[in-house]
Amino acid sequence: MSGKAKKVENQQMEVSKSTGAVMTAFFGILSLAFLFPIFLVLVNSFKSKLYISDAPFQFPKVGTYVGLTNYFEGVRKTGFFPAFGRSLFITVCSVAVIVLFTSMTAWYITRVKSKFNSILYYVFVFAMIVPFQMVMFTMSKTANDLYLNSMYGLVLLYLGFGAGQAVFLFCGFVKAIPLEIEEAAMIDGCSPIQTYFNVVFPMLRPTAVTVAILNAMWIWNDYLLPSLILPQEKGTIPMVIQNLKGGYGSIDMGAMMAMLVLAIVPIIIFYLSCQKYIIKGVAAGAVKG
């Protein structure tokens, strides 16, 4: 290698390192910007109500630190634990039915070639871009007419709203599964259902986990759809937290901050434990297809 070529290579390496450092700094600052509101909620959950309003960006001081008082008060006022149970039930059941039925749908659409299935696929894709606000009033009226204003009805509605994205991701991954594997299973005597559960679904695990994570985060934090469907006394966590806002704009900020902390902890733990599957599943579903 000539001296000139080596010099050019060194310059390219220096530029690459500089670019990497700039990108690292940029994304580091961006991460801090996203994490700061969560940190602010956590800090304010240990402060008195008046001090939160007067100095929201300061740490608790002697006389303003209230320990776990806000947490106990918030749990008492909201009925947090029953709401937690309802949110957990709705989230787990919704995610389970979304993963099960949309993966089966995607497998059928991909493997059975027909004009109807092609149209059906684009219907699911189109459903991804339809804003919820466009259909929420008609949907809530229809849900009430069909007696779906319960937790079970809400699970069914979440299946409808989550199906588009899930089918899109699953279809991309199913296309990457060699058809010969399924044919070999059927030659060995497996029925289509046995082939799906014993051969296909285990291979869909990265995308299935990704779909589960994305839908769990959305459903757990959703306020609008449950507030339209469920009665107030059977509300989810976001609904009961909203109840801390009293008449004439009065808000128990201490209790609200404490309940927000309790609400976000489970979903953060779930996300951190499964985050490695997100990029893998999205790449498999979008790129391989």
pLDDT band at 34 (very low <50, low <70, confident <90, very high): confident
Same domain? For 110 and 147 the reply is yes
Domain with 32 in it: 3-44
**Span 262-273, pLDDT tens digits:** 999 998 888 888
What are the helix (H) ranges across the chain? 3-44, 49-54, 69-78, 80-111, 115-127, 132-145, 151-174, 179-187, 192-195, 201-203, 205-221, 224-229, 237-242, 253-274, 276-286
Considering the domain architecture, whether residues 102 and 35 belong to the same structural domain is answered as no
Give me the number of domains the chain comprises.
2
Same domain (yes/no): 105, 199: yes
Q: Token pair for residue 8? A: 């050019």
pLDDT digit string (tens) for 65-78? 888 888 998 899 88
The answer to whether 157 and 139 are in contact (CB under 8 A) is: yes
Check: CB of residue 143 under 8 Å from CB of residue 226: no
Reply yes or no on whether the pLDDT at 180 is more than 80: yes
Mean of the pLDDT values across residues 162-179?
89
Whether 270 and 147 share a structural domain: yes
Residues 165 and 224 reside in one and the same domain: yes
How many Cβ atoms from other residues are within 10 Å of residue 75's Cβ? 18
Do 39 and 141 lie in a common domain? no
What pLDDT was estimated at residue 248? 63
**Residue 179: its pLDDT value, please?**
85
- What percentage of the chain has pLDDT greater than the value 90? 29
The answer to whether residues 31 and 129 belong to one domain is: no
Is 255 among the domain residues?
Answer: yes
**Does pLDDT of 136 surpass 50?**
yes
Does residue 62 fall inside a structural domain? Answer: no
- Give the angle subtended at the CA of 273 by the CAs of 221 and 281, to the nearest 5°: 85
Residues 90 and 10 in one domain: no
Whichever domain contains 188, its CATH number is: 1.10.3720.10
Q: CA-to-CA distance for 49 and 77, rounded, in angstroms? A: 15
Q: Kindly state whether residue 63 falls inside one of the protein's structural domains.
A: no
- Same domain for 153 and 18, yes or no, is no
Distance in angstroms (rounded) separating the CA atoms of residues 102 and 172: 12
- The one-character DSSP state at 200 is I
pLDDT at res. 3: 58
In a domain, 240, yes or no: yes
The first and second tokens of residue 25, run together, are: 């700094």
Q: Report if residue 50 sits inside a domain.
A: no
Give pTM, 2 decimals.
Answer: 0.83
In a domain, 55, yes or no: no
Tell me what pLDDT residue 278 has: 66
- pLDDT at position 280 is 63
Residues 9 and 152 in one domain: no
pLDDT tens per residue, range 35-56: 898 898 898 888 888 788 777 7
* Residue pLDDT, tens place only, 62-120: 777 888 888 998 899 888 999 999 999 999 999 999 999 999 999 999 998 899 989 99
